[in-house]
Amino acid sequence: MSEFTSITVKIPEGIQVEQKGSTISVSGPKGKVSRDFAHTRLDISVGGGEIKILAPAKGKRLKALVGTVAAHLRNMFKGVSVGHTYRMKVIYAHFPITVKVQGKDVLIENFMGERSKRTAKIVGNVKVTVQGDELVLEGVDKEEIGQTAANIHIATHVKKMDPRVFQDGVYVSGRE
């Protein structure tokens, strides 16, 4: 075992972990998250209140991959126990921006004085709430929240204007 890279991740209390092949499903009080680790080609085993991640050979890349999978598992544990939260700030200097949530879309109106609405997709089961000039994104899957925040940010991206002058947009201001 000394020549292989391995990490053991403890499963917190109140969280159930199931393994079906290379797919790990984590469920807890906030919900359930599943992830397929087949592309990693690592040996992942669940048992005894812990998850063991073992690389089939030595090397820097495999060692980094083992650490990455462990970090993904810890993010899954945090998501199903307390949840993930991103805060985004609506910033405007020229025209007041109006942000609304409509179904699975975030509508951005009056951005840079445009008449047409800009839309951003809400990915997965992310809950987006608008509180004045702040958006709060909540959910159990960190990747879904991050992608939704990126979609909102990209929808307000300013092209062909100096970003030092035209700083209008929606930006991530905090993560919890």
**Can you tell me the distance from the alpha carbon of 43 to that of 25, in angstroms, rounded to the nearest whole number?**
16
The tokens describing 85, both together, are: 């939260």
Domain range 6-81, CATH architecture: Alpha-Beta Complex (3.90)
Compute the distance between CA of residue 43 and CA of residue 90 in angstroms, rounded to an integer: 44
CATH tag, 84-175: 3.90.930.12
pLDDT score of 3 = 55
pLDDT of residue 14: 93
Write out pLDDT tens, residues 78-87.
999 999 999 9
**8 Å CB contact between 26 and 15:** yes
* H/E segment holding residue 120: strand 118-121
> pLDDT per residue over 7-63, tens digit each?
999 999 999 999 999 999 999 999 999 999 999 989 999 999 999 999 999 999 999
* Residue 42 pLDDT: 93
Residue 155 tokens read as 């929808």
Residues facing residue 118 across a β-bridge: 108
Average pLDDT over residues 156-162: 88
Are 107 and 119 in contact, with CB atoms under 8 Å apart? yes
SS3 145: helix
The mean pLDDT of the chain is 93
Predicted local distance difference test score (pLDDT) of residue 38: 93
DSSP 28: -
**Each residue of 101-139: pLDDT tens digit?**
999 999 999 998 999 999 999 999 999 999 999 999 999
What percentage of the chain reaches a pLDDT higher than 90? 85
Query: Helix, strand, coil proportions of the chain in percent (round to 5)?
Result: 25, 40, 35
- Cα R_g (the chain), whole angstroms: 20
Task: Give per-residue pLDDT as tens, 65-78.
Answer: 999 999 999 999 99
Give the pLDDT confidence score for residue 158 in this predicted structure.
85
> What does the pLDDT look like over 131-152, one tens digit per residue?
999 999 999 999 999 999 999 9
Angle value at C-alpha 90, between 166 and 128, nearest 5 degrees: 145
Positive or negative CA dihedral for 161, 164, 166, 168?
positive
Residue intervals of the chain classified under CATH 3.90.930.12 are: 6-81, 84-175
- The pTM assigned to this predicted structure is 0.89
**Whole-angstrom Cα distance, residue 5 to residue 54?**
6
**pLDDT surpassing 50 at residue 2:** no
For 4-20, how does the pLDDT look when each residue is reduced to its tens digit (9 = 90+)? 689 999 999 999 999 99
- Which pLDDT score is estimated for 4? 63
